Amino acid sequence: MPFDVYLNVAVGGLLTGLVYGLMALGLSVIFGVVRVVNFAHGEMMTVAMYIAIVLFSALHLDPLIMLVPISVVLFCFGYALQAGVINPFITRPEHSQFLLLVAIAIIIINVLLIIFGPDAQSVQTSYSYDSFQVGKLIVDATKLYAAAAALAVAVALYGFFQFTAIGTAIRACADNYTGALVVGLDVKHLYALTFGLGSACVGAAGVMLVLIVDVTPSLGPAYTLLAFVIVITGGLGSMPGALLGGVLIGLTEAMAGLIFTPSAKSMFAFAILVLVLLFRPQGIMGKKAA
């Protein structure tokens, strides 16, 4: 196979990887602050995907334009979920939280199944088949837009955490729960805010993935798992790590799909996870003693 085929696939994988990274970022933010493992992460993403599909097929609203409104909807969903359902479970053992989120995931998947049926749906935009050509390199326009948007959302989130008062307060909660309580922070509200932000991230990622993949209600668990693999590979709690992990996994999956067979590509993502756990358990960008 000529070299430029590899290059094209690699660039495609890299761009998809950035969107994966944004999805994983949501998970990382939630776990880093609230210390709850969101086992319904991929399922929440499918909710955003279906909203995008409905808006597109009914009102012809372009998913990339609806990125912000849908993220806001997911933010509210995440906020309500944390404030209403998950909050009492904060101090409970992991398996108890796990069961709660699995129950939520089961409900989401099957409500989507009841409403939309099991068939795959997709969005065909006017630019679905557009591409940019740079020399021998052909870049898929959809993937490029999606990756650029993912990067923009990630940068915005980073800025929020670093430079705003609420962002600083949330980081304080993550660093020292008791200390945050002592200085009078409304931890419950901040936790819900964080869960909402994480949900907004995965919502945004979902809207962009709608342009790239076909959507079925049962898509959730695979993406939940993918988000975990990425987050652990990149380093839990590290925002650049999540993006880097996403790019790495996206690249690996694309190359594995090209060299071996597409159906075996997720095996390589898991192999990377095992390698990372073996040699660098804290993740590529993670700090020691996670």
Partner 1 sequence: MFSRLFENVSRRALVLLGALLIGLFGAPLVASDYLLTVLILILYFAYIGQAWNIMMGFAGQLSLGHALYVGLGAYTAAALYVHFGIGPWIGLLVAVPVAGLAGAFIGYLAFRFKVGGVYFAILTIAVAEFARVGFDHLTWTKGSSGLFLPVAQYTRNDLWLLRGQPVMFYYILLVAAALAFVFCRALLQSRIGYFWLAIREDEEAARSAGIDTFRYKMIAVVISSAMTSFAGVIYAFYYNNLFPEQVFHISRSIEIILGPIVGGVGTLFGPIIGAFLLTGMSETLIAALHALGIDIPGAKQVFYGFCLLLVIAALPDGIWPWLSRRIGLSEREK
Span 193-252, contacts to partner 1 by CB under 8 A = 217, 221, 225, 228-229, 232
Q: CB 91 → partner 1: shortest distance, Å?
A: 10
Q: Please, which residue, 179 or 281, has the CB nearer to partner 1? A: 281
Q: How far apart are CA 48 and CA 87, in angstroms?
A: 23
Q: Please, which residue, 171 or 280, has the CB nearer to partner 1? A: 280
Q: How far apart are CA 108 and CA 130, in angstroms?
A: 34
Site string for partner 1, 162-201 (x = CB under 8 A): ----------------------------------------
Strand stretches in 19-143, DSSP E: 131-134, 137-140
**What HEC string does 7-70 produce?**
HHHHHHHHHHHHHHHHHHHHHHHHHHHHCCCCCCHHHHHHHHHHHHHHHHHHHCCCCCCCHHHH
Q: How far apart are CA 26 and CA 204, in angstroms?
A: 10
**Coil vs helix vs strand at 215:** strand
Classify 235 in phi/psi space as left (phi over 0), alpha (psi -120 to 50) or beta: left
Task: Tell me the residue type at 45.
Answer: M
Q: Please, which residue, 96 or 124, has the CB nearer to partner 1? A: 96
Span 58-117, contacts to partner 1 by CB under 8 A = 85, 88, 92, 94-96, 98-100, 102-104, 106-107, 109-111, 113-114
Q: Please, which residue, 72 or 222, has the CB nearer to partner 1? A: 222
Residue written as token pair 């342009």:
211
Q: How far apart are CA 88 and CA 257, in angstroms?
A: 43
Q: Please, which residue, 106 or 155, has the CB nearer to partner 1? A: 106
Span 112-141, contacts to partner 1 by CB under 8 A = 113-114, 118
25 in contact with partner 1 (CB under 8 A): no
Q: CB 37 → partner 1: shortest distance, Å?
A: 5
Measured in degrees and rounded to the nearest 5, phi and psi for residue 22 equal -65, -40
Query: Which listed residue (7, 10, 14, 37) binds partner 1 by CB under 8 A?
Result: 37
Q: How far apart are CA 29 and CA 82, in angstroms?
A: 14
Contact, 199 vs 44, CB < 8 A?
yes
Q: CB 29 → partner 1: shortest distance, Å?
A: 15
Looking at 57-65, 66-74, 76-84, 256-264, which segment touches partner 1 (CB under 8 A)?
Answer: 256-264
Q: How far apart are CA 110 and CA 112, in angstroms?
A: 5
Q: CB 145 → partner 1: shortest distance, Å?
A: 30
Burial annotation 51-62 (CB, 10 A radius, 16+ → b, else e): bbbebbeeeeee
Q: CB 115 → partner 1: shortest distance, Å?
A: 9
Task: Tell me the residue type at 246.
Answer: G
Span 259-278, contacts to partner 1 by CB under 8 A = 261, 263-264, 266-267, 270-271, 273-274, 277-278
The size of the interface with partner 1 (CB under 8 A), counted in residues, is: 40
Q: How far is CA 139 from the centre of its chain?
A: 23
Interface residues with partner 1 (CB under 8 A) are: 31, 37, 85, 88, 92, 94-96, 98-100, 102-104, 106-107, 109-111, 113-114, 118, 217, 221, 225, 228-229, 232, 261, 263-264, 266-267, 270-271, 273-274, 277-278, 281
